Structure 1
Amino acid sequence: MASPSPDTQVFNTIEVLHGRQPMPRGSFLDHLPAAKWALFVAIWGSDARTYLKGEELPLRPKDTNMYIVLGGCVVQERFPFGTKIARFRGVGQVLGEAKLIEPRSSVRTVCLATTWVLPCDTRRVNLLLAQDHEAERALLRSLEDRNRSDERIYATTNRSPLARVSALLHHLATIAGTRDPADPSGPTTIVGPRQRDLAEALLLGQSTVESAVATLRQKQLVDSRYRQFVVSDLAALRALVTSQS
């Protein structure tokens, strides 16, 4: 079951709900004007909930909400033609947007760590979007940015495994990573995904991903722990991704 309210020890709830925390570039909350975010908070802010690691968000055919991720990380899984397609989603992104046009749509969405979300009734969201073209534009732009990001991260099968794993870890650090508030230039911690999760998302063998992570560890760019990756230098990891292009 979802907890009744956000865990203020895990997430900076005040900054997020007041629109003062920067959101990952290209996300819905990055595109959405501050005044429009205040409207979402006024309507649905009291319904914000946290889900624990391993819990599924209610995005089944009979559910009526879509969600905005305010903290944490999830993996969404689809199974076309018996093939598992996994995509990671993080802060500022929308989940279950297909329900805006097909209410009975569903997607298996599993929290990889404690995850804070804002549930929004799709019928009311549709009314809001029909009346507010800035919010509608923000959603459309975020979905286009997400599609382009997915192409760069998951579909570039011609790149080396090291480049692909590095790009995915950089992406995860950007959309779900956290830093010690006392050391904003310090390492970025990604909580939740395992090396097996990376392998499934990239359609690579687990041993291939383990080898790539070992290389990143040798370069002192990434440290891997149980359900946790620590990126010591985000800029250097991005430079490595670029050099491998």
Structure 2
Amino acid sequence: MPPKVDAFRTSEVLRGRQAMPEGSFLRHLPDDTWPLLVSAWGLDARVYERDEELPLGPDDKNVYIILGGCVLQERFPLGAAAASTRITRFRGVGEVVGEAKLIAPEAAVTTVCLATTWVMPCPTQRMNVLLRKQPRAQQALLCSLEDRNRSDEMIYCTPNRTPVQRVGGLLLRLAGIAGRTNSADPGQVTILGPTQRDIADALLMGVSTVESAVRALRDTHGVITSRYRQFVVTDLHALRDIALSS
């Protein structure tokens, strides 16, 4: 189905006028290259609803650029039979997902939409042709993957930091890649979709530990409010100070 204009600023995104998150593929992509992707695949962009999976199985032939919304990806490095050993990551606006298919077409990753999510499918063969013909687009993808790796290391691979810092860091990241602002209160950023269990799985923490950290961020520090599958960052600067404190 076509993108919902009431959910996303479709014209601003497709014309390259909406600022993309720092470090994302679309932030790195040269301004004159984005229209090439839009002309090729913009009409194929579609919306997936919450809890729908993106078709990124071994037989699927697309990678996806996230234009709006947020997804949760799960990989099972020891095989699906060892489901307790999984790697959980959040991905958001401006990012490419399923990028492994560009070098291994049979690659697969479970990718579930956490909220209404707008994506542009890009056929892997044609995407590879475009990347070879557009070296700056190829560089943008490589730079975005490196930035994402560094961000992942900081958020998911720092067990020596306190739970409040780690949960705060993930919420700060989600605010940047999946947050929505309201013109009536531009100082607040709403994150739709993730549950506290999702956060616990991603950070390899107990749910009760995440609950305590969220309570501290909400009640002690006053930087967020929370409901089921919704977090509202009420003080982004203070949250950043908590997340990045040494």
TM-score if structure 1 supplies the norm length?
Answer: 0.97
Task: Provide the identity percentage.
Answer: 62
> In 2, Cα distance between the equivalents of 1:125 and 1:227?
34
Quote the residue 2:163 is aligned against: 161
Quote the residue 1:108 is aligned against: 110
Task: Quote how far apart the aligned CAs of 1:182 are.
Answer: 3.9
Quote the residue 1:237 is aligned against: 239
> In 2, Cα distance between the equivalents of 1:216 and 1:159?
15
> In 2, Cα distance between the equivalents of 1:9 and 1:241?
32
- Moved segments of 4+, more than 4 Å: none
* Matched letter for residue 213 of structure 1: V
Aligned length: 240
Task: Quote how far apart the aligned CAs of 1:34 are.
Answer: 1.3
> In 2, Cα distance between the equivalents of 1:100 and 1:199?
30
Within 5 Å, give how 1:85-234 maps onto structure 2. 85-184=87-186, 186-218=187-219, 219-234=221-236
> In 2, Cα distance between the equivalents of 1:59 and 1:242?
34
> Which segments of 5 or more consecutive residues in structure 1 lack a partner in the other structure?
none
Which string of whole-angstrom CA distances, capped at 9 and with x for unpartnered residues, describes residues 109-148 of structure 1? 0000000000000100000111110100000000000000
Within 5 Å, give how 1:45-84 maps onto structure 2. 45-81=42-78, 82=82, 83-84=85-86
Task: Quote how far apart the aligned CAs of 1:84 are.
Answer: 1.4
Task: Report the RMSD for the aligned CA atoms in angstroms.
Answer: 0.7
> In 2, Cα distance between the equivalents of 1:161 and 1:239?
15
Task: Quote how far apart the aligned CAs of 1:242 are.
Answer: 2.0
> In 1, Cα distance between the equivalents of 2:36 and 2:133?
13
Quote the residue 2:35 is aligned against: 38
> In 2, Cα distance between the equivalents of 1:215 and 1:183?
23
> Which segments of 5 or more consecutive residues in structure 2 lack a partner in the other structure?
none
> In 2, Cα distance between the equivalents of 1:25 and 1:79?
28
Task: Quote how far apart the aligned CAs of 1:196 are.
Answer: 0.7
Aligned with 1:215: secondary structure?
A: helix
* Matched letter for residue 17 of structure 2: R
> In 1, Cα distance between the equivalents of 2:77 and 2:120?
28
Aligned with 2:32: secondary structure?
A: helix
Which string of whole-angstrom CA distances, capped at 9 and with x for unpartnered residues, describes residues 148-176 of structure 1? 00000000111111110000000000100
Which has the larger displacement, 171-180 or 77-86?
77-86
> In 1, Cα distance between the equivalents of 2:185 and 2:50?
26
Which has the larger displacement, 174-183 or 204-213?
174-183
Quote the residue 1:8 is aligned against: 5
